[in-house]
Amino acid sequence: MSSSETFVGYAGLQSFVLDDASTHLQPMTFEPRPLESDEIEIEVSACGICGSDIHQLTNGWNRATFPIIPGHEFIGKVTAVGSGVKQHELGDRVGVSPVCRSCGDCEQCNQSRGQFCPSKVTTYNGSFKGHKTFGGYANKVRVQAKWAIAIPDNIRDIDAPLLCAGITTYLPFKNHNIGKDTTVGILGIGGLGHLAIQWARAKQCKKVLAISTSDRKRQDAMELGATDFMILNKDGTYDAQYQKSVDVLLVCGSGKDTNWTNLVELVKVAGKLVLIDLPEKPLVIESSAVVYNSVSICGTFVGDQDDLKEMLDFASETGVRPWVTTVDNTLDGVNGGVKDLINGKGHYRIVIDGVGRQKD
């Protein structure tokens, strides 16, 4: 199925520099690639501005191929359906995460780990059949139908960050059996951490230790569901009572000078440190802190379609929701949202509302 129509989005044409307006997002019109038989077209209703978008727009990960239209946590309505699609109809409300296509036949796909498919296509800054993928800062997006997940009625369009931040913080609870018998630590009370605390509360964890670099977010952390709060000092030190105090430490935020050895020492013997955010600098850890305490260091990366469905259903049932600040779907609004996220002003996720009705 081909189309002569054009889509429009807000694009980064070069590396984003905060104080250089010439590098900021610009409107970009493009012709979408033909709709495949296993794909749907979605008119975007709301799209989160994710920390990953900042890493890509600034080329902090050295992976950006410009132009980029970001956006990999969005909700919208189906406006076109490929000839082979059975699970979605016109008008269905669906959400999309950072992966928008997988092969369905490889070892990873067959084990319900499609996000690790060697042939996976990312929702933006990826490529499929010679066409670049553009994300949810555009008015419409075309994706493989199986990666578009039905949205429960009680989840709002502006809850779109569940599709990235939500699944990214939910999956460790599933994969590591974090629950009633677990003391969990959550480092970083931001776009990821504020959701991780809510999952911990909803999973009825024995203790939930929120960790931040200042007292400023203590009240929010306790309201979100933490049972204790620890301040991590700028030099990486903390109150000695917290050494070897958590079964699992979820790292949802870290700085360029993070003392990773001290973080490992928060974890109990045979416990786990799970990397959720993706620092731009390599980790430096004293091996003795890991070896002598049998600490496992592992990571997590979004989720498969089944994981996404499970997460959304659990959020629907338990009331886990992102705390969001919305910005208008104007060029100034979106650039303002990007700048606010860079400056740490999001509380706690920034969402572009009404993307499909762009005014610029």
Per residue in 246-256, pLDDT (tens digit) is 999 999 999 88
Across the chain, mean pLDDT equals: 96
Q: What is the mean pLDDT of residues 189-216?
A: 98
Q: Is the pLDDT of residue 360 over 80?
A: no
Kindly state the tokens that stand for 33.
């690639």
Backbone angles phi, psi at 283, to 5 degrees: -80, 140
Which pLDDT does position 335 carry in this prediction?
Answer: 98
Per residue in 33-72, pLDDT (tens digit) is 999 999 999 999 999 999 999 999 999 999 999 999 999 9
What DSSP assignment string belongs to 230-299? EE--TTS---GGGTT-EEEEEE----TT--HHHHHTTEEEEEEEEE-S--SS-----HHHHHTTT-EEEE
- Give 21: exposed, middle or buried? Use CB within 10 Å, 0-12, 13-18, 19+: exposed
Q: Is the pLDDT of residue 4 over 80?
A: no
Per residue in 333-352, pLDDT (tens digit) is 999 999 999 999 989 999 99
What DSSP assignment string belongs to 140-157? EEEEEGGGEEEPPTTS-G
Region for residue 104 given its phi and psi (left: phi exceeds 0; alpha: psi -120 to 50; beta: otherwise): left
357 vs 242, more confident: 242
- Give 280's pLDDT tier (boundaries 50, 70, 90): confident
Under 8 Å between Cβ of 50 and 115: no
Under 8 Å between Cβ of 40 and 85: yes
Which pLDDT does position 19 carry in this prediction?
Answer: 96
pTM of the model: 0.96
Which pLDDT does position 2 carry in this prediction?
Answer: 45
Q: What is the mean pLDDT of residues 135-149?
A: 99
Contacts of 229 (CB under 8 A, 6+ apart): 209, 210, 211, 212, 215, 218, 221, 222
Q: What is the mean pLDDT of residues 208-218?
A: 97
Q: What is the mean pLDDT of residues 93-109?
A: 99
Region for residue 301 given its phi and psi (left: phi exceeds 0; alpha: psi -120 to 50; beta: otherwise): beta
Which pLDDT does position 279 carry in this prediction?
Answer: 82
Which pLDDT does position 356 carry in this prediction?
Answer: 60
Which pLDDT does position 229 carry in this prediction?
Answer: 99
Which pLDDT does position 189 carry in this prediction?
Answer: 97
Kindly provide the residue ranges of all beta strands, DSSP E only, lying in the chain, ordered along the sequence. 7-11, 26-30, 39-49, 74-81, 93-96, 99-101, 121-122, 127-128, 131-132, 140-144, 148-150, 183-187, 207-212, 228-231, 246-251, 267-275, 296-299, 324-327, 349-353
Which residues pair with residue 275 across a beta bridge? 251, 299
In this structure, of 28-37, 103-112, 224-233, 279-288, the range with the lowest mean pLDDT score is: 279-288
Under 8 Å between Cβ of 148 and 123: no
Cα(42)–Cα(143) distance, rounded to whole angstroms?
8
- Give 1's pLDDT tier (boundaries 50, 70, 90): very low
> Pairing between strand 349-353 and 183-187?
unpaired
Backbone angles phi, psi at 100, to 5 degrees: -120, 0
Which pLDDT does position 218 carry in this prediction?
Answer: 98
- Give 281's pLDDT tier (boundaries 50, 70, 90): confident
3-state SS assignment for residue 314: helix
Under 8 Å between Cβ of 148 and 95: yes
Cα(222)–Cα(224) distance, rounded to whole angstroms?
5
Cα(9)–Cα(131) distance, rounded to whole angstroms?
16
Under 8 Å between Cβ of 72 and 124: yes
Q: Amino acid identity, residue 147?
A: W
Q: Which of 202, 182, 178 is nearest to 268 (CA)?
A: 182
Kindly state the tokens that stand for 117.
């498919």
